[in-house]
Amino acid sequence: MHEESLNSFSQKDLRNLLERGVHIPDLNLVHITRDVKLENIAPGCTIYPFVRITGSKTQIHSGARIGARGPVILENSLIGENAVIGDLGQVTLIDTVVGPKSVLGAGVAEQAVFLGKETMINDFTTGYGFRVRKGSLYEEDASSAQHTDTKMTILFPWTTLGSDINFCDALLAGGTGPELGSFSEVGSGTIHFNYSIRGDKATASLFGDVFQGVFLDQERLFIGGNNSLLGPVKADFGTMTAAGARIKGKLPKGLNYGHSLPKGTVDYDARIFSGVSGIVKNQVNVLAELTALANWYKQVRINCAAQAPEQKFLYESGLRMIELNYQERLHQLNRYVDFLENSVRLLESMQASKKQISEQKDLLSRWPKLDSEFKKLEKYEIQIPESLKEEFDNLQSQGQSDYTGLIKNLSQSGKQTGKTWLSEIAGIVRNVYTAGM
């Protein structure tokens, strides 16, 4: 007998699933390996032909439809209630958590989390040809259209990416609802360039912020189609960009037309770094915002908003993505600082500006201590204000269950208290870098 057959459940075993209320139209065309715990495949779900399920962590909840319109591979992945996997074709999910009512079209996700859908105004989560890579977190009703690629990307509720987009190493917040014209969006054909000519990735961008954005009451951002986003970008809420723009630096509220390039060539040595303190300060700010978001997940989503074990697991999985993003940003900062050793040598050999050399030397001398401080993510925690915690409890006692509804129904004073709390957390992280400068 073929070795793979020995490691897979027999048709008799699969018939037991049928008897428990799992719908499998053709037992011959479903493959489930023996490391899967069959009790974690819930009655009421449907497993269509050409589905392969592996991994001890795999769970499929009631109402889920696996392989609706194409072959599916599930490996150590959780599928929430009434989620649809393969709505447009073939899907592969590896170590991925898919929340309730998510609709995944055709593509691949690995080490990613989708928190699910709370409205059906937008009837999909991902379209055709999605690639959702490590560290991607799609919060409630966030979505992407055709041929999109994300990695170390956090999309807040209702935010959306158009088609033919590469949007890695970025956080997108903003918007007040799922209706057209209310949510933040990135236009088709836009690329976030997250790898510099120098070979570093100290380039993460913030579109909006965390300490205000989590309260779902900020003006949306609109990034026009065919934009070239040169990370790191820091965009305020209310930012808009024209189609076809080349975007870099800080973007204020209003319509931004972007930057044009001068013609010609210049002497350039990619090994020599400039503007070091500004770049590091920018990336420390990303660490600060991620720290605030980690606290939000721990103290609000997990401890206040979660009303069932499944929801708590979903938020804990989201927190894992935030921690991955934090670790990635710190890793890339370390790589950036490592490059400075050579940059300093080259600058000294050229007898370059003493200010530029001392700036880089100063950062190199300070960095071991800074790195040690930044590694302690759990250190930067301030307890949620008691008044805000009580307000969450009161809203839930009144029957408010959806996460986005819970946040939208907070009082203005409650939201302001929360913003002050999260801003203080982010400020502590930023001060680690600015102290002694």
Identify how many contiguous H helices and E strands the chain contains and give both numbers. 9, 28
pLDDT at 1: 39
- Adjacent-strand bridge partners of 165: 148
Burial 44-77 (b: 16+ CB within 10 A, else e): ebbbbebbbbbbeebbbbebbbbbbbbbbbbbbb
For residues 130 and 104, is the Cβ–Cβ distance under 8 A? Answer: yes
Mean local confidence (pLDDT), 284-303: 97
pLDDT at 3: 46
Longest Cα separation, the chain = 80
Q: What is the mean pLDDT of residues 270-299?
A: 94
Number of residues assigned to the chain: 437
Task: Give the type of residue at 212.
Answer: Q
Mind listing the pLDDT tens digit for each residue in 127-163?
999 999 999 999 999 999 999 999 999 999 999 999 9
DSSP type of residue 176: S
This prediction has a pTM of 0.96
C-beta separation of 425 from 379 below 8 A: no
Contacts of residue 359, defined as CB under 8 A and 6 or more positions apart, other chains included, come to: 276, 277
Per-residue pLDDT tens over the stretch 223-235:
999 999 999 999 9
pLDDT at 191 over 70: yes
Greater pLDDT, 316 or 273: 316
Mean pLDDT of 249-266: 92
Strands (E), 218-345: 222-223, 228-235, 239-241, 246-251, 254-256
Asked whether the beta carbons of 57 and 34 are under 8 A apart, the reply is no
Two structure tokens written together for 142 = 């966030």
Q: What does the pLDDT look like over 64-106, one tens digit per residue?
A: 999 999 999 999 999 999 999 999 999 999 999 999 999 999 9
Percent of the chain residues past pLDDT 90, beyond the cut:
86
Q: Give the pLDDT score at 2.
A: 45
Tell me the per-residue pLDDT of 356-382, one tens digit each, with 9 for 90 and over: 899 999 999 999 999 999 998 888 999
Instruction: With beta carbons less than 8 A apart as the criterion, state whether 264 and 282 touch.
Output: no
Q: What is the mean pLDDT of the chain?
A: 94
Structure confidence at residue 198 (pLDDT) = 85
Residues 198-223: pLDDT tens digits? 889 999 999 999 999 999 999 999 99
Its CATH class, for the domain covering 3-256, is mainly beta
Mean pLDDT across the stretch 43-70? 97
Rounded Cα distance between 206 and 286, Å, is: 7
pLDDT of 188 > 90? The answer is: yes
Give the model's pLDDT for residue 178: 94
